[in-house]
Amino acid sequence: MAVDIGGTKMDIAYVDETGAFYKPPERLYVPFDEDGIADLDKMLDMLEPYVVFARENLPNFLGAGFSICGNIDDADGNCVLVANLRWYNVPFGKMAHERYQVPIYAATDVRMALIAELLWGKAKGCNYVAWMTLGTGYGGYLFLDGKLYGGYHGFAGNLGHAIYDERGGADCGCGQRGCFESYVAGPAIARQGQAAADEGRSALLKQLSQKDDGKVHTSMVFEAERQGDPAAVKIIEEQVRKLGISLSSMVDLLDLEMIVMGGGVLKGAADFLDRVDNRVRGFLMTVEAKRDLKIERETFDNSALMGAAATVFIKNNILEL
């Protein structure tokens, strides 16, 4: 059984060791209390029928893998920091295990997504890979020298919170200012589009925003860009440039063979990834990296969910990275 807990939704699936789904994934929504904190008790209540179903109907049921959108200690499933759920040191793994009495494996969503790509996707057979998500946030996870790499505290891959310019950008959910994420993630693009509409720099964005009461969405900025709106073109150009700086720095530091990118922002424009690829390659130091680096789009729609399932098989020595 696999569960992917995002900032608002929870996807649930039963997956076998080939990555095939037992039936289509189901979606629930994260319950929040009146203070805007995700309600763990209620969440465990909502998921309980799915665990019961697995225990009673799946003869080879091995346990539940949880992919969670934050910094998770994968040894015990402790949620060190999950900004979207407003969880700080929430003992998710322990609570879920006490409630369900089945093996629980929890880890950060980017780690889970990378595992799915390594086992079943485009990164199969690669030894130096970074997964990067570009959506509500910007961050990833690393596979170096044939091993998952979490770093000293398990927080490696937080590339989005490297500082681009602490005097510019916007305040970031991480508590800093001017992180790459505050320039390139979906909400940052929407915010810049909103400013262009509000300050009279883009009549088109102003017009598109009427669809939602004057609110500019990331997809509207891409739409305006497609139509040649100068303000939107500039926003996306700058986004691609900063992604180029950020990703090429990572490749120069780690000498990667592949970056797999996922997340909602990639759906903004058909050639978005090609543009990012061009920028990254332009900034890379060595001819070898320029020649060999592969930048790929995610293989699956639900990599984190699949990776959560894969983790259960890996922990039971049925699959191996």
The C-alpha atoms of residue 288 and residue 267 are separated, in whole angstroms, by 29
Of 130 and 179, the one with the shorter C-beta distance to Zn ion is 179
The first and second tokens of residue 145, run together, are 């020298």
Name residue 133's beta-bridge partners: 139, 262
CB of 160 to Zn ion, least distance (A): 6
Q: Which of 240, 261, 11 is nearest to 122 (CA)?
A: 261
CB of 196 to Zn ion, least distance (A): 23
Handedness of CA 208, 212, 215, 221 (dihedral sign): negative
Given the complex with Zn ion, which of 168 and 282 has the nearer CB atom? 168
Q: Which of 111, 161, 217, 242 binds Zn ion (CB under 5 A)?
A: 161
**Residue whose CB is less far from Zn ion, 180 or 283:** 180
* CB-CB contact of 246 with 184 (8 Å): yes
Each residue 98-137 as x (binds Zn ion by CB under 5 A) or -, in order, gives ----------------------------------------
Distances (CA, A) of 46 to 10, 20, 66: 10, 24, 14
By beta-carbon proximity to Zn ion, the closer residue of 110 and 197 is 110
> For residues 64 and 172, which CB has a smaller minimum distance to Zn ion in the complex?
172
Least distance from Zn ion to the Cβ atom of residue 191, Å: 14
C-alpha distances out from residue 220 to 8, 157, 163, 232, 252, Å: 22, 29, 27, 9, 34
- Which range binds Zn ion by CB under 5 A, 45-53, 116-124, 156-164, 298-306? 156-164
| Nearest approach, Cβ of residue 121 and Zn ion (Å) | 28
Stretch that binds Zn ion, among 56-64, 128-136, 159-167, 248-256 (CB under 5 A): 159-167
259: closest CA among 114, 76, 84? 114
How many Å apart are CA 48 and CA 295, to the nearest integer?
39
> Least distance to Zn ion from the beta carbon of 185, Å?
9
Q: Which is nearer to Zn ion, 121 or 186 (CB)?
A: 186
How far is 292 from 281, CA to CA, in rounded Å? 10
Question: By CB under 5 A, which span of 17-25, 28-36, 87-95, 153-161 interacts with Zn ion?
Answer: 153-161
Looking only at the bridges linking them, the beta strands covering 78-82 and 71-73 are antiparallel
- Smaller CB separation from Zn ion, 97 or 191: 191
Distance of CA 155 to the CA centre of its chain: 14
Name the segment binding Zn ion (CB under 5 A); options: 170-178, 251-259, 274-282, 307-315: 170-178
User: Which residues in the 171-200 window bind Zn ion by CB under 5 A?
Assistant: 172, 174, 176, 179
d(CA 28, CA 250): 35
Q: Which residues bind Zn ion (CB under 5 A)?
A: 161, 172, 174, 176, 179
